[in-house]
Structure 1
Amino acid sequence: MKLAVQVKLLVMPEQAAALAATLHACNGAAGQASRIAFERRVFSRIRLQKLAYTELKAQGLSAQPALHVIRKVADAYTALHTQIQAGILGKEGSARRTKAQTEPIRFRRDAAQPFDDRCLSWQMDARTVSIWTVHGRCKNVAFTGEPSQLKILSEYRKGESDLVHRDGKWFLLATCEIPEAELNASPTDWIGVDRGIANLATTSDGDNHQGRGLERYRRRMAWVRAELQAKGTKSAKRKLKRRARRESRHAAHVNHKIAKTVVADAQRTGRGIALEDLQGIRDRVRLTRHQRATLSSWPFHQLGEFIAYKARRKGVPVLVVDPAYTSQRCPRCGHVSRKNRPCRDDFCCVVCGLAGPADHIAAVNVRVRARTAWAFVNTPNAAVSPSPGQGQSRAAKPPSPGLGS
């Protein structure tokens, strides 16, 4: 599997000036190639290379950087056309879609630029890199990073690296090919995970990863954001962008810690991980006005992605199940009713009397559905329906487990 490892460059002033000039030149060339592609209606990399390569070389770019610029432009148009076809940019005639279709793609002066091994070489022992710039080869550029990330970088780096300039600092994002562990094809059981807002993740084992700290942090950030938006100055807008990135990094850090804990528990006990399929949840639920911002900034998708990729590295199977009524169904008797949820945090079955935290009950139901789905998939000829003349035997209903089973 591919993984991006980020390291920080410790640049001298003259090195920083050369890197900045390189990014500006490459992205200026990308803008020119984008205009050529848009005017000629040529979006494939090979055809665009025939039209723009000579012109980009004349601007001072070497052969490999010019090819990377052309490929970056072609990939950008491919992504744009995919978004248009999928309806992500709105319906036909909408302002956003019309603007995307009537203007060439623009590239920021400081947008990231890819480098391959011909333009960028790594000296792992000395922790330095040598990188091509428009002012010549920039050698002995020191880099640093987290020890575990540097270990992955030295062992598995393969492919391109992206040069990134962010908040006045320079970074390299290196692509690493990490071998996946052998998948556990026979898990002993499943860990059900219920994702939410008040509790970011609750497992069927009873582990509760609360999101109150993240919620307080976001409320404080929202208050600061409102003050900066009220000012409306250029300085305030710059601070808004920095704070948005800071908030995103904080949420990702919290999700990384939760995902790491869940995957470690599953690997240690030989179990798989079951998640709810929450795709399109924003379109399915009805919210009051004050709840919309909370749901829009809810990082449930990111948490699921982190759990999935960390599980692949450890060989832990991940199963996605139907989320319908997981918070209203009793895992003991199977009764489904809204009355089983007297309030947001509590569950109490009106039939059998089973009670407990609502998020824990939902996680248990996710685990039960994973057991059923896994048993169905691994049953021989499970998907083959009997012929019309044959009798249909009713499948045995799995026993309804208790809360702690």
Structure 2
Amino acid sequence: MKLVVQVKLLPTPEQASALDATLRACNTAASEVAATAREIGCYRNYDLRKHTYQNIKTGHRLGAQAAQHVIKKVCDAYKTLTANLLNSRYGKPGSRRRRTVETNPVTFRWDAAQPYDARMLSWQYDTRTVSIWTVGGRVKNLAFTGSPDQLKALATLPVGECDLVHRDGMWFLYASVEVPEPDLIDPAGFLGVDMGIVNIAYDSDGTRYAGAKLNGYRRRQQRLRQRLQAKGTQSAKRLLARRRRKEARHAANTNHVIAKTIVTEAARTGRGIAVEQLTGIRDRVRLRKPQRVTLSSWSFHQLGTFLAYKARRAGVPLAEVDPRYTSQTCNRCGHRDKRNRLNQETFTCRSCGVVAHADHNAALNIAHRGAESWGAVSRPHVA
């Protein structure tokens, strides 16, 4: 499986100037290619190369590999745009925002990430430097640093494509590495995980992840955003951008910690992990107005992604199950009734009388469904 390793570059002023000029040239060329692609209606990599390769290579001093990566980057951007349109991420058909996206070409910021391959970038692990292509020529002895785990991964694992990234005045390389994937264990049961608004996650062992403390943090950040948005000055907008990045880092770190804890517990007890399918959760769930902001302010998809790749690295099976009625069904007797869910926190079965935390009950149901689905997949069909 592929993982991404981030290392920080430590360029001199001259090296930083060369990297800056390279990103500007590549992304200016990418915007031109995107405009051409929209004009002629051509979005396939090989076909688009026939129309744009020579122009951007000579007009922007790009090398052959860099020009090809620019064209591929444009094709990938349009592929992502098409997928977002199909998923109604830009509004309903006919809406103003959707019409704008459908008619205008994709544009690239001057500091958008630029892909590099092995012909454009080489690593010197003993001296912790890289040799990297720029529009002004090859820049050698460009120092980099990272955590011990990141440096070890770069030195010991096969390195694939890298991305040159400029963020907050700093330079980074995001390198994809190939990590050996262990065989999946034969699970002795499943650990169910229920994801929600009040509690980000609640497992079938009764462990609650990121409850009141995190929600208090999110409400505080929301109030700060509202005050800054109401102010409307340029300095307020800059502060909003910094806070947005800070909140994203906080959310990613929290999701990493939750996912790592769940996978570690499942691996320790020899179980698999069962999670609910969250596709379309924002369209499916009906909430009161104050809850809508809370639902949209947390990346449940990111948490699911972290769980998936960490489980694969640990050899832990992951099963996605149908989440319907898990909060209304008794995990003991199977009786389903909307009235079983008294409130957000309390579940009381009207058939057998069991009383439980509503999220814990849902997690137990998810664990049962995970075991059933895994057994149906892993057991051979008997006629």
Q: What is the TM-score of this pair, normalised by structure 2?
A: 0.94
State yes or no: 1:151 paired with 2:145. no
- CA displacement at 1:199 relative to structure 2: 1.6
* CA distance in structure 1 between the aligned counterparts of 2:328 and 2:85, rounded to whole angstroms: 38
* CA distance in structure 2 between the aligned counterparts of 1:246 and 1:181, rounded to whole angstroms: 34
**2:333 is matched with which residue?**
333
SS at match of 2:98: helix
- CA displacement at 1:162 relative to structure 2: 0.4
**1:387 is matched with which residue?**
none
- CA displacement at 1:79 relative to structure 2: 2.5
Asked if structure 2 preserves the Cα contact closer than 8 Å seen for 1:2 and 1:175, the reply is yes
SS at match of 1:319: strand
Pair 1:232–1:252, CA change in 2 (3 A) = same
* CA distance in structure 2 between the aligned counterparts of 1:175 and 1:379, rounded to whole angstroms: 35
* CA distance in structure 1 between the aligned counterparts of 2:84 and 2:195, rounded to whole angstroms: 28
Asked if structure 2 preserves the Cα contact closer than 8 Å seen for 1:276 and 1:323, the reply is yes
* CA distance in structure 1 between the aligned counterparts of 2:275 and 2:302, rounded to whole angstroms: 13
- CA displacement at 1:109 relative to structure 2: 0.7
Give the AA of the match of 1:63: A
- CA displacement at 1:379 relative to structure 2: 4.3
**2:67 is matched with which residue?**
66
* CA distance in structure 1 between the aligned counterparts of 2:135 and 2:379, rounded to whole angstroms: 62
Q: After superposition, what is the alpha-carbon deviation per residue over 1:334-380, rounded to whole angstroms, capped at 9, x for unaligned? A: 22223322232122223322222221111111111222223333444
Q: After superposition, what is the alpha-carbon deviation per residue over 1:245-273, rounded to whole angstroms, capped at 9, x for unaligned? A: 11011111011011111111111221110
* CA distance in structure 2 between the aligned counterparts of 1:295 and 1:324, rounded to whole angstroms: 18
Give the AA of the match of 1:323: P
- CA displacement at 1:26 relative to structure 2: 0.7
- CA displacement at 1:49 relative to structure 2: 1.7
Q: How does 1:18-167 map to 2 (within 5 A)?
A: 18-58=18-58, 59-167=60-168
Give the AA of the match of 2:205: D
State yes or no: 1:305 paired with 2:297. no
* CA distance in structure 1 between the aligned counterparts of 2:341 and 2:101, rounded to whole angstroms: 46
Pair 1:82–1:340, CA change in 2 (3 A) = closer
Q: How does 1:3-402 map to 2 (within 5 A)?
A: 3-58=3-58, 59-184=60-185, 186-381=186-381
* CA distance in structure 2 between the aligned counterparts of 1:379 and 1:162, rounded to whole angstroms: 43
- CA displacement at 1:35 relative to structure 2: 2.0
- CA displacement at 1:161 relative to structure 2: 0.6
Asked if structure 1 preserves the Cα contact closer than 8 Å seen for 2:164 and 2:173, the reply is yes
Percent same amino acid among aligned pairs?
56
Asked if structure 1 preserves the Cα contact closer than 8 Å seen for 2:162 and 2:173, the reply is yes
Q: After superposition, what is the alpha-carbon deviation per residue over 1:80-130, rounded to whole angstroms, capped at 9, x for unaligned? A: 234334544344432223212322211111111111111111111221111
* CA distance in structure 2 between the aligned counterparts of 1:138 and 1:44, rounded to whole angstroms: 32
Pair 1:284–1:70, CA change in 2 (3 A) = closer
Q: What is the TM-score of this pair, normalised by structure 1?
A: 0.89
Give the AA of the match of 1:303: L
Q: Which is further off, 337-346 or 13-22?
A: 337-346
Give the AA of the match of 1:277: Q
Give the AA of the match of 2:314: K
Aligned-CA RMSD value: 1.8
Q: Which is further off, 100-109 or 78-87?
A: 78-87
Give the AA of the match of 1:141: L
* CA distance in structure 1 between the aligned counterparts of 2:224 and 2:158, rounded to whole angstroms: 40
Asked if structure 2 preserves the Cα contact closer than 8 Å seen for 1:214 and 1:251, the reply is no
* CA distance in structure 1 between the aligned counterparts of 2:141 and 2:46, rounded to whole angstroms: 35
- CA displacement at 1:310 relative to structure 2: 0.5
* CA distance in structure 1 between the aligned counterparts of 2:36 and 2:324, rounded to whole angstroms: 50
* CA distance in structure 1 between the aligned counterparts of 2:147 and 2:373, rounded to whole angstroms: 40
Q: After superposition, what is the alpha-carbon deviation per residue over 1:7-42, rounded to whole angstroms, capped at 9, x for unaligned? A: 111222222111111111111111122222222222
Larger radius of gyration: 1
- CA displacement at 1:285 relative to structure 2: 2.1
Asked if structure 1 preserves the Cα contact closer than 8 Å seen for 2:192 and 2:203, the reply is yes
SS at match of 1:220: helix
* CA distance in structure 1 between the aligned counterparts of 2:196 and 2:87, rounded to whole angstroms: 28
* CA distance in structure 2 between the aligned counterparts of 1:332 and 1:225, rounded to whole angstroms: 44
Give the unaligned 5+ runs of structure 2: none
* CA distance in structure 1 between the aligned counterparts of 2:13 and 2:348, rounded to whole angstroms: 65
Give the unaligned 5+ runs of structure 1: 385-405
Q: Which is further off, 92-101 or 242-251?
A: 92-101
* CA distance in structure 2 between the aligned counterparts of 1:65 and 1:344, rounded to whole angstroms: 54
Asked if structure 2 preserves the Cα contact closer than 8 Å seen for 1:157 and 1:174, the reply is no
SS at match of 2:200: strand
Pair 1:380–1:75, CA change in 2 (3 A) = closer
**1:395 is matched with which residue?**
none
Give the AA of the match of 1:164: V
Give the AA of the match of 1:349: C
* CA distance in structure 2 between the aligned counterparts of 1:36 and 1:44, rounded to whole angstroms: 12
SS at match of 1:242: helix
* CA distance in structure 1 between the aligned counterparts of 2:378 and 2:62, rounded to whole angstroms: 56
